[in-house]
Structure formats: C-alpha cells, structure tokens
C-alpha cells in the first residue's frame, strides 16, 4: 500500500530519541528529566506506521517504563489520520526495547492488547513551507482506560509534534475526582528530538 504524505510525515516526526532536558532544568519542581524512545516496528504494515514507545528517568535509564505501541493510520472518523494505542501484555519481555531495538524484532500482534478507548484524532497545520505541526487529541466520546497490575487506570492522551519537537499532554486521571494525578499537570512535557530513527 502507498501511504499518504501526511502519514509518512507524522511517522517520521514521531520516530526518534527525545528528552526534555531544557524544561527539566528550567522547572525541576514540575518536570522530571525524561528520555523517550519511539522506534518503528514491523506491525500492521498493510495500512499503518507502528511505533514502540518507552521512557525512563534520565537518572535511571536501565529501568524504563510506560511502554506502549502507537499505530498511525488513516482515520475512521474523517479523511485525516488517527492514532490507536496498544499495551504490551508482558512488559518485562520488551523492557529496554527503546534503547535496544533488537528486542523488538520478534514483536508480534499476539503480544499486544488493543486499548479501544485510547485513540486520538490528528489534525495538521502547515507552519512553514514543507514544515508541519500535527495535533492529536481524543474524540469527545472516548475514555482511555486499561488494567495494570489488577488496577484500572484512566489516562488522558494527547500530543503536538513538529519535526524536532514533541509536546506530550499525557496524564493520569483519578476516576473518582476526574483530576490529573501525574504527567502533564502543569502543561505539556516539551521534548526535543536528539536522534532520528
């Protein structure tokens, strides 16, 4: 299948190694210094670009967390794009895959759990000649929840990405109060791309 230019551009922008060093230095009370790896993987290749994402505190790179698989594909809502999230069924089997892509070569669909409510609609803006900004936000009627270690977790997802910068709006939500409990509580995590994958 031939992918649209928008799909290819979004995939290229999302793939890479990122960190938020400048933000963490400027606002250490609100933002932990994180490293984020987003590596392309060979899944859903018939109609999608798929990415394995993992992050770690810069002080403890050997203990990555928040693994997820991001599938970028033509939208089911309109003529644009959408992002669908999946969760690995066995986190430990893929731990470190962000730094060591060899761990991801044997990744199969059977190792993933679809997160039906964890979906984003993507809009695009041209900010300069051949330079774009993609904004991904949840449709109004969705709720992203999943079970982790026997607990139901609710997450609010969203991001903005340009060629060399990623702003992550992801945050955990208390299901009783509806308030954010972790993540981008004081505004987005502002990542800079350090390496293109």
Cα–Cα distance measured from residue 97 to residue 51, given in angstroms and rounded to the nearest whole number: 11
Share of the chain above pLDDT 70, in %: 99
Phi, psi torsion values for 111, nearest 5 degrees = -85, 0
pLDDT band of 146, cuts 50, 70, 90: confident
pLDDT band of 1, cuts 50, 70, 90: low
Q: Which two tokens stand for residue 191?
A: 């990542």
Domains of the chain with CATH codes? 5-193 (2.40.128.590)
CB-based contact 80:124 (threshold 8 Å): yes
CB-based contact 88:98 (threshold 8 Å): no
pLDDT tens for residues 64-103? 999 999 999 998 777 789 999 999 999 889 999 999 999 9
Which is more confidently placed, 2 or 8? 8
Q: Per-residue DSSP letters for the chain?
A: -PPPHHHHHHHHHH-EEEE-HHHHHH-TTT---EEEEEEEESSSTTT-EEEEEEEEEGGGTTS-EEEEEEEEEE-SSSSSEEEEEEEES-HHHHTTTTT-GGGGTT--GGGEEEEEEEEEEEEEEEEETTEEEEEEE--TT--EEEEETTEEEEEE--EEE-SSEEEE--EEE-TTT--EEEESTTS-EEEEEEE--
Output the pTM of the full model. 0.92
Q: Which two tokens stand for residue 116?
A: 């039906």
Cα–Cα distance measured from residue 196 to residue 180, given in angstroms and rounded to the nearest whole number: 31
| Residue 64 exposure: Cα atoms within 13 Å on the Cβ side | 21
Cα–Cα distance measured from residue 150 to residue 153, given in angstroms and rounded to the nearest whole number: 9
- Closest among 167, 196, 195 to 183, alpha carbons compared: 167
């Amino acid at each position: 299948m031939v992918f649209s230019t928008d799909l290819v551009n979004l995939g290229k922008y999302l793939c890479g190694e990122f960190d938020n060093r400048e933000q963490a230095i400027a606002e250490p009370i609100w933002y932990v210094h994180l490293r984020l790896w987003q590596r392309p993987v060979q899944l859903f290749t018939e109609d999608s670009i798929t990415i394995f994402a993992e992050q770690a505190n810069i002080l403890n790179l050997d203990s990555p967390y928040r693994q997820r698989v991001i599938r970028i594909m033509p939208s089911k809502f309109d003529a644009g794009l959408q992002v669908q999230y999946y969760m690995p069924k066995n986190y430990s089997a893929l731990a470190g895959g962000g730094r060591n892509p060899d761990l991801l070569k044997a990744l199969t669909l059977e190792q993933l759990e679809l997160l039906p409510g964890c979906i984003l609609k993507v809009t695009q803006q041209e900010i300069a000649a051949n330079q774009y900004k993609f904004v991904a936000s949840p449709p109004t009627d969705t709720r992203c929840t999943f079970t982790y270690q026997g607990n139901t977790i609710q997450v609010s997802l969203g991001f903005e990405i340009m060629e060399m910068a990623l702003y992550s709006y992801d945050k955990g939500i208390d299901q009783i109060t509806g308030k954010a409990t972790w993540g981008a509580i004081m505004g987005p995590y502002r990542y800079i791309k350090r390496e293109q994958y």
